[in-house]
Chains A and B, each alone.
Chain A
Amino acid sequence: MTASNIPTDLLYTPDHEYVRVSADGVAEIGITDFAQGELGDIVFVELPAPGASVTAHSQFGTVEAVKAVSELNSPVTGVVLAINPRLDKEPALINSDPYGDGWMIRVKLANPAARDGLLTPTDYAAHIGA
């Protein structure tokens, strides 16, 4: 198994989602390189509609790999601004570029300072035994 990529500028959940928080209080969310590697070929993603609310540590969608459905849990609380429009036709982007073209949703944070329950890159690396 190849080592997982864990970018140092992101925060993580124990359930293998990442969050990229920008200065304008918008968070970009997806699943980690480790998660996509564990699941294999991703064939379908179900995401909330823009305008929907998401809550930290609660489900916001599902992803299907080889006939296996996994829940997606939000790292943060806020309102969905956008979903990645390419994932409907190209869910494999999550495998090929999880931190880039494979992003899932962008969320306007309810509280831009909130980081409850999120893991640093070092903590996440320890969590997956990397």
Chain B
Amino acid sequence: VTARWRLLYTEPLDGIDNMALDHALLARAARTGESVLRVYSWQSPTVSFGRHQHTAGTYDRCRLARLGLAAVRRPTGGRAVLHAREATYSVTAPIAGPLRATYASINATLLAALRRLGVDASLAPRSRAPRPDVSPCFALPTEGEITVAGRKLAGSAQCRENGAYLQHGSILIEDDQALLGRLTEDQSLTGRPGTAEKNFVGAVPAPPATLREALGRAPSVEEIADALFKSLDAEASPLSLEDTVRADLGAFRARYSDEHWTWRA
């Protein structure tokens, strides 16, 4: 059975609305059996934490505020990402196979889109799954993720509920990730240059790859969205948000704007 696919491009939103919309689309996938590929960006620089990361007492809220950064907790696993100059994608779809197969299928679309843009990207080799600790997401390429010359260009994470999954991820246009190293209470934990990466003591992680570096120019989010939509190996039509999705958005906004959700110890 070929899944039906819909395409959605949204203008820049804040972190709460971006997470609420991804979650409303996850509920839509469980309800309708349709898959959606969404491409989006962020109104202002926002740190997103993984679902299981400790944030209160680990990340310095005052420093975030001083740097003008917003914060949100994702429904998905993995580690912290600073969303600034990037294109973000989400896929929401019915679960049709093992986790590794889902990642592989979406990564194939990402890889095809990047090649369409002219980036010689590849997939990271098999490795251990990362624990949701304080190391930044882009410090470590995980199995199957998109790399350029061994450095991570796109980081992705997933959540699964009610027979559907949400996978979202960031494709870096420019590297703003170093800022994450200045946001923790204990600077020795974040594994930026000059410190020891927690899981790989002694190793200094390479900075992530970027589209700017790979292409010698910074493509727009619209251009990246167009490449992604053209690289989807399925029939697809544009999606306009139904009333049910808009109604769900309200409930999910409440979750993602809740301080206790974002800043738990």
Q: Which residues of A approach B to under 8 Å, CB–CB?
A: 37-44, 46, 62, 64-71
Q: How large is the interface on B (under 10, 10 to 19, 20 to 34, 35 or more residues)?
A: 20 to 34
Distance between Cα atoms of A58 and B100 in the complex (Å)? 26
- Taking a contact as CB atoms under 8 Å apart, the answer to whether B128 and A69 are in contact is no
Interface status of B29 (Cβ within 8 A of chain A): no
By a CB distance below 8 angstroms, the chain B residues around A62 are 51-52
B75 at the A/B interface (Cβ < 8 Å)? yes
Out of A40, A43, A46, name the residue touching B130 (CB < 8 Å).
Answer: A43
Complex CA distance for A44 and B77, rounded to whole angstroms = 10
Per DSSP, chain B at the interface is loop
In the bound complex, do residue B76 and residue A69 qualify as a contact, i.e. CB atoms below 8 Å apart?
A: yes
Could you show 12 A-B contacts with beta carbons less than 8 Å apart?
A39-B98, A39-B99, A42-B129, A43-B132, A64-B51, A66-B129, A66-B143, A67-B77, A67-B158, A68-B99, A70-B159, A70-B161
Interface string of B43-74 (1 = CB under 8 A from A): 00000001110000000000000000000000
The residues of B that contact A64 with a CB separation of less than 8 Å are: 51-52, 77, 132
The residue of chain A having its C-beta at the shortest distance from the C-beta of B143 within the complex is: A66
Within 8 Å CB of A40, what residues of B?
A: 98-100, 129
> Is A67's CB under 8 angstroms from B131's CB?
no
What are the 5 closest A-B residue pairs judged by CB atoms, nearest first?
Answer: A68-B158, A67-B78, A41-B129, A67-B157, A67-B77
Q: A43-B131, A43-B132 are in contact. Are A66 and B160 (CB under 8 A)?
A: no
